[in-house]
Amino acid sequence: MPNNDKSLDGLRVLVTGGSRGLGEATVRRFASAGATVLTASRTPPATDSRAAFLAADLSTEQGVADLGRRVVEHLGGVDVLVNNAGAASAPAPTLSRSDASWQADLEMNLLSAVRLDRALVPGMVERGSGVVVHVSSIASQLPQRTEASYAAAKAALNTYSRELATEVGEHGVRVVCVLPGFVVTDGATAHLRHMAEKQGTTTEEVTRQIVDHLKVPLGRPGDPEDVAEMIAFLASDRAKWLTGAQFRVDGGILPTV
């Protein structure tokens, strides 16, 4: 979708987890606005995303350090960092969830962002400008049964984002959190299809069940582009006085502002 906001034109942007879903939509959004976009994930995009791809394993300290170094070598740093990469370990009852699954969710959903910020945000501070967008989840405020470790990691990401914003704000760097709700990405579609096969029903019916369970006021799941639009807005000059805050893109699921 074309973007008339010229403040995104020419920005250097890194989107992690940009090969599919929310990340891919975000890459397309920035690229359409004239930004120079890098994307990093384990696997390359399935289609032409108009972004340079860097293979990276963000679940390890060394993988993040290597990515940070290559980004600096490739672009000299970034103006916008979108920490979108994340993953949830398999569902498990909270009291029997293993230490390994807790650690995996913390590594991927909290520490990957902390480490990449550590590598790239100092360059923003030195230049006196920059935007960091952490993609969290409404699970951080509305945890679902059997997903405690993922929800806790995202809640920690929210708190970390708030503190980082207070630390770097005086240097012209903004830090914000985006909390998507039930969004139909490729991964979500595959999961819906699997659930439908188990129930002997359609993906449409399973989608309706989830919408009803979550009591989505707008009565439907979101699209990746809905979230990408919020991220692009927050990275633009239109949001130049927004920092340290959380922005829900959830169709009204959470009953608070």
Hey, which residues are catalytic here? 150
Bridge partners, 247 (sequence order): 178
Instruction: For tokens 């945000």, name the residue.
Output: 121
**Residue 135: alpha-carbon gap to chain centroid:** 3
Question: Rounded to whole angstroms, how far apart are CA atoms 2 and 30?
Answer: 10
CA 242 to each of CA 78, 161, 162, 179, 221: distance values in angstroms, whole numbers, following the listed order: 19, 13, 12, 15, 26
Between CA 127 and CA 221, with CA 156 as vertex, the angle to 5 degrees is 95
Instruction: For tokens 């979708």, name the residue.
Output: 1
